[in-house]
Amino acid sequence: MAFQAIWVLVGVFVCSTCVKGSSQPQARVYLTFDELRETKTSEYFSLTHHPLDYRILLMDEDQDRIYVGSKDHILSLNINNISQEPLSVFWPASAIKVEECKMAGKDPTHGCGNFVRVIQAFNRTHLYVCGSGAFSPVCTYLNRGRRSEDQVFMIDSKCESGKGRCSFNPNVNTVSVMINEELFSAMYIDFMGTDAAIFRSLTKRNAVRTDQHNSKWLSEPMFVDAHVIPDGTDPNDAKVYFFFKEKLTDNSRSTKQIHSMIARICPNDTGGLRSLVNKWTTFLKARLVCSVTDEDGPETHFDELEDVFLLETDNPRTTLVYGIFTTSSSVFKGSAVCVYHLSDIQTVFNGPFAHKEGPNHQLISYQGRIPYPRPGTCPGGAFTPNMRTTKEFPDDVVTFIRNHPLMYNSIYPIHRRPLIVRTGTDYKYTKIAVDRVNAADGRYHVLFLGTDRGTVQKVVVLPSNSSASGELILEELEVFKNHAPITTMKISSKKQQLYVSSNEGLSQVSLHRCHIYGTACADCCLARDPYCAWDGHACSRFYPTGKRQQEHRSRMGTMNTFKTLMTMLYPLEW
Ligand SMILES: *[C@@H]1O[C@H](CO)[C@@H](O)[C@H](O)[C@H]1NC(C)=O
Ligand SMILES: *[C@@H]1O[C@H](CO)[C@@H](O)[C@H](O)[C@H]1NC(C)=O
Ligand SMILES: *[C@@H]1O[C@H](CO)[C@@H](O)[C@H](O)[C@H]1NC(C)=O
Ligand SMILES: *[C@@H]1O[C@H](CO)[C@@H](O)[C@H](O)[C@H]1NC(C)=O
C-alpha cells in the first residue's frame, strides 16, 4: 500500500514542475525525426518520393505482415521491420476511367487514381480489397497465401464493381468490416456524393442498406470507424457499430451543426417484409458528447469525432471506447480525448427513443407504447429466440424504427468530461491508439496520440483525484520528417510496435525507448514511463514477473534499487 502511495507522490512532484496549470504541456522528451532514427527504435517506409496516401492499414499478426492500401498500390510489409523489401501489387485505375474522371473535372492527382480504401481479411488465403478506381469504385480478391513463407501476394480474380462498397471520391471516407465473408461498408454510394449509406454487400443473401435520402437516419455523414461489438453472451446479439459525424440543420435552417454519432445494426438483418424492404430494420443511432463546462462559463463542445480506439478487456462489458474530438469552432483550435464505457453506450441504446413533437419539432423522450420485440433487437438472439429473421418482425416494429432511429439520451464520457484537453496549441490530435501496461506499481493505460504536425505523443494518465490534468506527455516523436499529418495509427501490443501512416509514408516505432531517459537510476524512475524500470545497470524495459524471468533479469534487483531511491526522496514513508 505504502508503495503505491509513493508513486502518487512522485506523480505530483513531477507534475507540479512541468504540467500544472497549462493546457499546453510539453513533452519530457522530444525527438526529431533524425534523433528518433538514432535511437534505432524506428523504421520508415515509402514507395516513392511522391505522396501516395498510405492511409489504409491492416495488421496480420498471424502471418507477421502489415497490409497497406495507397494510391494505385497494395503492399504487404514485414510487421517486424517495415523497411524491408515489400511484396506489392500495382493496381491502377483503367486508362479509360482515368480519362473519364479528368473529363468530368475531377482533380487528376487527388481524385483520378485508384485510391485503395478497403482491405479486409476474407478467408484463410484471400484479402478483399476495394479502391476508388478514378471515381468508379472496383473490388477484387487478393491472394496472400496460407503462410507468409509462401511469399504470395497477387490478384488472381477479376475485378468487380465496388459500388456500395467504396466511395467514388477518395477524399470521402469509406469504413468497413468483414463478417463471415459479408462486407459492411459505410460510404457514399453515388458519383455525385449525395447518397450516403451503410450497406451490406458481398453476400449470398439480399443486399441491405440504410433508408435512402432520409436525413433522420443519416444527414451528410462523415464516417470515422466501424467495429463489431458483442452484446451479452449470445453471438447473435453482436452488432456492428459505426462511428461518424453528421451535419444537422437547426430549426431556423440557417446554420449547420456538427454532431458526433454512433449507429448500430444487427449483421443478420435482412430487411423488412412489407416496409423497409432491403433496408435495415435494426438501425439505431445516438449522439456522442465530448464537452467541457467551465465553472461559470458556457459549455465548450468538441463536436467533431476524428478517431476511435476500442480498448478491449476479457469482459466485453468493460471495454473502453476512446475518442479523439476537435472543435468546429472558428474561434479557437482545440482537441480532446474522451473515454466511454461500452456499458454506458449500450445503456443509451436500451433507453428512451427520441420523438419529434410540436410546432418547433422539439425532440422529446418518446412516451408511447413501444412495440415488441423492442426495436433494435437482433433476430435469433437472446431476446427473440423464436424470430430467426427480421422478416418475421411485426409491422409496427418496422414502422417504429423507420420513424424513431434516434435515441433520446446522449452518450457521455467517464466523469462527464474529457480525459485530455488541448486548447491554444498549434497542433490538433488526429488519431489514437492505447496500450495497457503492467508497470512495477500497477496497470496503466498509455495513450499514443497522432497529431496534424507529423508527431506522436505518448501520454500516461496518472491516477489523481484532485485535478483532471494528471497527465504526463512522456515522449513526443517526429515520425515524419516533413510534418505530414498522421492519417492512421495501428498498435501491436504483441510486437510492442506502433504503425503510423501519413500521405507521405509509413513509420514504425517501438512503444518504448527506456535508455533515452538517462543513465542514472533517478532519471529512469522520475521519467514515470510505465514501460521502463531501473534494472541495476540501466533504464530498461520492465517485465512483470513471469516474462521478466524469460528475459534473464532479476525483478528483485529493480525493486530494491527503486526502494533505495524512494527512501532517499521520501525517508518518512519508507
Ligand atoms: C530493417 O530493415 C532495413 C532494410 O533491410 C535494415 O537496414 C535495418 O537495419 C533493419 N532494422 C532492424 C532493426 O533490423
Ligand atoms: C478464399 O476465397 C477466394 C475467393 O473467393 C477463393 O478463390 C479461395 O479458394 C478461398 N480460399 C479458401 C481457403 O477458402
Ligand atoms: C447470423 O445467422 C446465422 C444463421 O442463423 C448464424 O449462424 C450466425 O451466428 C448469425 N450471425 C450473427 C452475427 O448474428
Ligand atoms: C482517489 O479516490 C478513490 C475513491 O474515492 C480512493 O479510494 C483513493 O484512495 C483516492 N486516491 C488518492 C490518491 O487520493
Render pLDDT for 57-87 as a digit per residue (tens, 0 to 9). 999 999 999 999 999 999 999 999 999 999 9
Spatial distance between the Cα atoms of 524 and 208, rounded to a whole number of angstroms: 56
**pLDDT at res. 380:** 93
Nearest partner of 530 among 463, 457, 443, judged by Cα = 443
Q: Number of helices and strands (H, E) in the chain? A: 8, 36
Whether 250 shows a pLDDT value over 70: the answer reads no
**C-alpha distances out from residue 148 to 61, 137, 141, 504, Å:** 11, 29, 17, 26
Amino acid at 531: Y
Which of 128, 129, 139, 141 for a ligand 2 pocket mutation test, highest count of atoms within 8 Å of Cβ?
141
**pLDDT at res. 247:** 93
CA of 462 to the centre of ligand 2 (A): 48
Same domain membership, residue 361 and residue 220: yes
Which band of pLDDT confidence, cut at 50, 70 and 90, is reported for residue 411? Answer: very high
Which band of pLDDT confidence, cut at 50, 70 and 90, is reported for residue 525? Answer: confident
* Nearest alpha carbon, ligand 4 atom 14: 465
Domain boundary among 425, 454, 482: 425
Q: What is the DSSP string of 371-384?
A: PSSPTTPPTTSTT-
Same domain membership, residue 482 and residue 559: yes
Cis bond before residue 316 (omega within 30° of 0): no
**428 in contact with ligand 2, CB cutoff 6 A:** no
**466 in contact with ligand 4, CB cutoff 6 A:** no
Same domain membership, residue 505 and residue 416: no
Residue 476 forms beta bridges with which residues?
Answer: 30, 457
Same domain membership, residue 298 and residue 216: yes
Whether 564 shows a pLDDT value over 90: the answer reads no
Nearest partner of 210 among 143, 165, 271, judged by Cα = 271
Q: How many residues does the chain have?
A: 574
Is the pTM for the entire model greater than 0.75?
yes
**pLDDT at res. 156:** 92
Spatial distance between the Cα atoms of 167 and 193, rounded to a whole number of angstroms: 8
* Nearest alpha carbon, ligand 2 atom 11: 125
Residue 408 covered by a domain: yes
Of the bound ligands, which one is closest to the alpha carbon of residue 124? 2
Nearest partner of 482 among 46, 58, 139, judged by Cα = 46
**43 in contact with ligand 1, CB cutoff 6 A:** yes
Same domain membership, residue 218 and residue 361: yes
**143 in contact with ligand 2, CB cutoff 6 A:** no
Spatial distance between the Cα atoms of 34 and 27, rounded to a whole number of angstroms: 17
Residue 478 forms beta bridges with which residues?
Answer: 455
Ligand 3 proximal residues by C-beta, below 6 Å: 235-236, 238, 267-268, 380
> Are the C-beta atoms of residues 541 and 514 closer than 8 Å to each other?
yes
**pLDDT at res. 313:** 84
Same domain membership, residue 558 and residue 528: yes
Residue 262 covered by a domain: yes
Whichever domain contains 249, its CATH number is 2.130.10.10
**88 in contact with ligand 2, CB cutoff 6 A:** no
**pLDDT at res. 521:** 92
Whether 401 shows a pLDDT value over 70: the answer reads yes
**pLDDT at res. 239:** 97
- What is the atom index within ligand 3 of the atom nearest the CA of 378? 14
Same domain membership, residue 415 and residue 467: no
Spatial distance between the Cα atoms of 422 and 412, rounded to a whole number of angstroms: 19
Residue 474 covered by a domain: yes
Residue 69 covered by a domain: no
Residue 360 covered by a domain: yes
Residue 302 covered by a domain: yes
Q: Edge-to-edge, what's the strand order for the sheet holding 73-78? A: 56-60, 65-69, 73-78, 87-90
**pLDDT at res. 546:** 55
Total domains, the chain: 2
Same domain membership, residue 522 and residue 406: no
**pLDDT at res. 73:** 98
pLDDT digits over 482-493, tens only? 999 999 999 999
Which band of pLDDT confidence, cut at 50, 70 and 90, is reported for residue 441? Answer: confident
Which band of pLDDT confidence, cut at 50, 70 and 90, is reported for residue 255? Answer: confident
Of the bound ligands, which one is closest to the alpha carbon of residue 4? 4
Residue 79 covered by a domain: no
Whether 285 shows a pLDDT value over 70: the answer reads yes
Same domain membership, residue 407 and residue 481: no
- What is the atom index within ligand 1 of the atom nearest the CA of 40? 13
Amino acid at 497: Q
Spatial distance between the Cα atoms of 286 and 152, rounded to a whole number of angstroms: 43
Same domain membership, residue 475 and residue 333: no
Of the bound ligands, which one is closest to the alpha carbon of residue 41? 1
**pLDDT at res. 333:** 78
Same domain membership, residue 410 and residue 277: yes
Amino acid at 327: T
Nearest partner of 76 among 62, 89, 92, judged by Cα = 89
Which of 120, 125, 160 for a ligand 2 pocket mutation test, highest count of atoms within 8 Å of Cβ?
125
pLDDT digits over 468-481, tens only? 347 899 999 999 99
Its domain, for residue 49, covers: 1-53+446-574
**84 in contact with ligand 1, CB cutoff 6 A:** yes
Same domain membership, residue 493 and residue 387: no
List, as own/partner pairs, every contact residues 455-458 make where C-beta atoms lie below 8 angstroms and the sequence separation is at least 24, other chains included: 455/427, 455/479, 455/483, 455/486, 456/486, 456/489, 456/498, 456/500, 456/509, 457/27, 458/511
CA of 418 to the centre of ligand 4 (A): 19
Spatial distance between the Cα atoms of 42 and 60, rounded to a whole number of angstroms: 19
Residue 193 covered by a domain: no
**124 in contact with ligand 2, CB cutoff 6 A:** yes
* Nearest alpha carbon, ligand 4 atom 4: 465
When the pLDDT of each residue in the chain is averaged and rounded to a whole number, the result is: 88
pLDDT digits over 169-201, tens only? 999 999 999 999 999 999 999 999 999 999 999
> Are the C-beta atoms of residues 197 and 183 closer than 8 Å to each other?
no
